Amino acid sequence: MKVKFHIEKEDTKTKARLGSLETNHGTVETPMFMPVGTRAAIKGLTPDQVKECGSGIVLANTYHLWLRPGEDIVDKCGGLHQFMNYEGPILTDSGGYQVFSLAKKKEKDITEEGVHFKSHIDGQELMLTPEKSIEIQNKLDSDIAMSFDECPPASATHEYLKNSLERTLRWAERGKKAHKNENQSLFGIVQGGPYEDLRRYSAEETVKLGFDGFAIGGVANDDESKEDMYHAIDYSIPYLPKDKVRYLMGVGEPMDILEGVERGVDIFDCVLPTRIARHGQAFTKHGKINFNNAKYKEDLGPVEEGCDCYCCKNFQRAYIRHLITVGESLGGTLLSIHNIRFLIREVEEIRKAIKEDRFIEYKEDFIKHYQQKGE
């Protein structure tokens, strides 16, 4: 079954919308945040722990699973759902971002056929094409597959980005033709950097190809400003179908989720909640806090007052700091649970606010508290 997206309510003051996305493995509400399980695992967490955080869709990565253990092994194990024992929906990224971060950025590395690069594991010469990316994702058997696209840096010139997105469109068409898994949905990706004319062109041409959903890509690069990210959304959204889900790729800062929802984005993903957790950092309604800070050594409170996650209901800050400072992996696990739950709780509150037609008020209140402090 292909995904089916339904709009339940639209905010009267912004482009925010409340919706539901029906998949082969359950229906999820939007706006929503997707935890990232790059190698078929949310780092440090069991599937049950992820579900207890309120997760809907989780993300896995084509490139990493292609190299290890290989798509044939995942297929033999019954597909990703059985392989990682996750009962909810799964989305697979195409591997494009990882490939382009590994390619040498020389002209010969990116050709019309695909991308030449070396494995980050053993240096083996590899090539990934649109057809190969789709073939891998078909075997992984995720609910949603992503088109293979080029993800150029935000600093690229207008001319380069124009040529790049033209090639991405040709790759998208090739990937769509190669897609053989009838139970798997395929999403197209809009590129174009920070340029309004390129974003519009990319969106209009990608829509013409007829995908099951649409993503806004190229917005989570290290060299991109927040303003460029927001412009990319603003320049893309008006040209995407209202009745199809919209996915902002690689974005998971609490403030960015608010800005994305206000502009009409439905789903988000990011490795941030688990990555900062492993470094001892936690989201709170007053900003990030760092448990490497000595002031938490004798703090008897939870990570965040009022949070309903397993970590906050059972452990004190002093214990979390102890785990982090002595290098116990449990510390990263507990903070990962909290951080994922924090972002999922945020989108739950956003959905409630849209339903009650008070999204702007919620956003203003969130910002007022979130910017009070932070470390």
The residues carrying an active-site annotation are: 93, 269
Which string of DSSP letters, residue by residue, matches 69-135? Answer: T-HHHHHHTTSHHHHTT--S-EEEE-SHHHHHHHS---GGGB-SS-EEEE-TTT--EEEE-HHHHHH
The C-alpha angle with vertex 2 and arms to 68 and 129, in degrees rounded to 5, equals 40
Please report, as a single letter, which amino acid is at residue 277.
Answer: A
Interacting residues of 11 by C-beta distance below 8 A, sequence separation 6+: 17, 354, 357, 359, 360
Q: Which long-range contacts (CB under 8 A, 24 or more apart) does 276-280 make?
A: 276/335, 276/339, 277/44, 277/332, 277/333, 277/334, 277/335, 277/336, 277/338, 277/339, 278/43, 278/44, 278/332, 278/335, 278/336, 280/321, 280/324, 280/325, 280/331, 280/335
Q: Write down the residue that tokens 């959903």 correspond to.
A: 213
List phi, psi (to 5°) of 71.
-65, -30
For the four alpha carbons of 304, 310, 315 and 320, in that order, the dihedral sign comes to negative
DSSP-based three-state secondary structure for 346: helix
Q: Pick from 251, 225, 279: which is nearest to 347 by CA?
A: 251
User: In sequence order, what are the beta bridge partners of 216?
Assistant: 190, 248
- 173: which residues sit within 8 A by CB, 6+ positions away? 209
What is the sign, positive or negative, of the torsion defined by CA atoms of 12, 15, 16, 21? positive
CA distance 173 to 161: 18
Of 91, 113, 109, nearest in space to 100 by CA: 109
